[in-house]
């Protein structure tokens, strides 16, 4: 596997784990468990019927979550490969990507699937979603990508 593939895989695994853990913690604070979180993820492509499937459909939700995260990581790594600024400034790029992911998921994807529930402007929901997308996905993805592609600020400065 080359650097690009390794970087996408690493970003997927780390950011995906941080993101789903964050979702489970926030759900737990509202009295919901991780199985419910994963059922919710699985219900996106497979409908409400998955909620009665127990652990098997929760695992399906986990697979869906990591499939989505693979696309998110692939897009970011491709951007960093083509645009040196992205990997040279991982914090700025990661924060910006986290905000873009939030806007895309909460203002396009989720409203297409659940138009009655999204977009939501409840401050706590927006804050928790932005936290997850910026801190658990965007920033680590920026740092992982810069390191994986060898194009962090120090690498770019050394070759300039």
Residue 18 near residue 25 (C-beta atoms within 8 A):
no
Mean pLDDT of the chain: 91
pLDDT band at 61 (very low <50, low <70, confident <90, very high): very high
* Mutual angle of helices 90-104 and 123-131, in 10-degree steps: 140
Res 70 pLDDT > 80: yes
pLDDT of residue 69: 98
* Cis peptide preceding 119, ω within 30 of 0: yes
Residue 100 lies in a domain: yes
pLDDT of residue 152: 56
User: Which tens digits make up the pLDDT trace of 108-138?
Assistant: 999 998 888 888 889 999 999 999 999 999 9
pLDDT of residue 51: 82
Residue 155 lies in a domain: yes
Q: Is 32 helix (H, G, I), strand (E, B) or coil?
A: coil
Residue 54 lies in a domain: no
Cα–Cα distance for residue pair 119/111, rounded to 1 Å: 6
pLDDT of residue 155: 44
Q: How many domains does the chain have?
A: 1
Residue 42 lies in a domain: no
Residue 128 near residue 30 (C-beta atoms within 8 A):
no
Residue 33 backbone phi and psi in degrees, to 5: -100, 175
Cα–Cα distance for residue pair 119/78, rounded to 1 Å: 28
Give pTM, 2 decimals: 0.89
Residue 48 lies in a domain: no
Residue 45 lies in a domain: no
User: Which tens digits make up the pLDDT trace of 37-50?
Assistant: 999 999 999 988 88
Alpha-helical runs (H) found in 30-116: 34-46, 54-82, 84-88, 90-104, 110-113
Residue 55 lies in a domain: no
What range defines the domain where residue 116 resides?
Answer: 3-32+63-159
Lowest mean pLDDT among 13-17, 78-82, 107-111, 153-157: 153-157
104-130 as b/e: b if 16+ CB within 10 A? ebbeeebeeeeeeebeeeeeeeeebbb
Residue 53 lies in a domain: no
């Amino acid at each position: 596997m080359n650097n690009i593939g390794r970087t996408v895989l690493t970003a997927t695994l780390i950011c995906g784990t941080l993101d789903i853990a964050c979702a489970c913690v926030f759900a737990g604070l509202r009295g919901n468990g991780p199985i419910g979180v994963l059922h919710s993820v699985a219900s996106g492509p497979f409908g409400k019927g998955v909620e009665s499937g127990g652990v098997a459909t929760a695992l399906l939700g986990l697979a869906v979550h990591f499939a989505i995260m693979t696309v998110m990581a692939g897009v970011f790594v491709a951007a960093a490969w083509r645009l040196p600024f992205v990997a040279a400034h991982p914090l700025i790029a990661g924060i910006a990507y986290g905000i873009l992911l939030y806007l895309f998921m909460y203002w396009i994807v989720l409203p297409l699937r659940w138009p009655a529930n999204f977009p939501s402007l409840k401050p706590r929901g927006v804050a928790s979603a932005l936290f997850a997308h910026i801190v658990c996905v965007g920033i680590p993805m920026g740092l992982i990508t810069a390191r994986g592609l060898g194009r962090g600020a120090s690498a770019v400065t050394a070759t300039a």
